[in-house]
Amino acid sequence: MAKQSWKPGNMLYPLPAVLVTCRDKDGHDNVLTIAWTGTVCSDPAMTYISVRPSRYSYQMIRETGAFVINLTTRKLAKATDFCGVRSGRDVDKFEAMHLTKEEASVVNAPMIGESPVNIECKVTEIKELGSHHMFLAEVVAVHAAEAYLDENGKFSLTAAEPIAYSHGTYFTLGEKLGTFGYSVKRPAPKKKQAGKALGDK
């Protein structure tokens, strides 16, 4: 496969498109869209978001050391885009996008009721990297919508139709290709058919 050599850039796509909610010390709430986020550690559970210092929410998160990551869905796609192109300095995004505000259980920040998963985070470190500053954070609580639990209590985010972001475009996820470890899993032994067993007698 022929390839071109390009200058260094952020080409790690697709990315999760999440809605991050936060609150300042005076009780003002805001929502911002973040694509630069992910898992950094599983024990303890830790995540990160990278935010430009010029963003309205940056100082709010820096002051309080708390935020909530709200996963997004097909139904939240418009709100996800809106909250990324409009500033909280000019508009109440909760009101404009008709988002339900819920209180987090541990951190002092709002959550989005329409989100299938809300991840409460406490900032442990701020890395000033350049155009963006990274907020490393510990996950202190997770809320999952009961609507996406099956009869065994297993959570299925697929049913919520999560979205991803790639090169300026939002996408829903495609077909299932396999589950973790499927590439090395041995095929299950074939069961004998009852009809054959009876006919052999």
Summarize pLDDT for 115-163 with one digit per residue, the tens: 999 999 999 999 999 999 999 999 999 999 999 888 888 888 888 899 9
Distance CA 20, CA 70 (A): 6
Structure confidence by residue, pLDDT tens digits, 63-100: 999 999 999 999 999 999 999 999 999 999 999 999 99
Is the predicted pLDDT of residue 175 greater than 70, yes or no?
yes
* Dihedral angle of Cα 24, 30, 36, 42, to the nearest 10 degrees: 60
pTM for this predicted structure: 0.90
When pLDDT is cut at 50, 70 and 90, the band that residue 201 belongs to is very low
What's the pLDDT at 194?
57
* Pair of tokens at residue 44: 């303890």
- HEC assignment per residue over the chain: CCCCCCCCCCCCCCEECEEEEEECCCCCEEEEEECCEEEEEECCEEEEEEECCCCHHHHHHHHHCEEEEECCEHHHHHHHHHHHHCCCCCCCHHHHCCCCEEECCCCCCEEECCCCEEEEEEEEEEEECCCCEEEEEEEEEEEECHHHECCCCCECHHHHCEEEEECCEEEECCCCCCCCCCCCCCCCCCCCCHHHHHHCC
Cα gap 82→91, rounded to integer Å: 11
Rounded to 10 degrees, what is the CA torsion of 64, 106, 113, 175? 100
More confident residue, 130 or 195: 130
Q: What is the pLDDT of residue 178?
A: 87
Q: How do 169-172 and 18-23 pair as beta strands?
A: unpaired
Sequence-distant (6+) residues with CB within 8 A of 125 are: 135, 136
- Whether residue 2 has pLDDT greater than 90: yes
The CATH T-level fold of domain 15-187 is Pnp Oxidase; Chain A (2.30.110)
| Cα 39 to Cα 25: distance, rounded to the nearest angstrom | 27
Are the C-beta atoms of 79 and 40 separated by less than 8 Å?
A: no
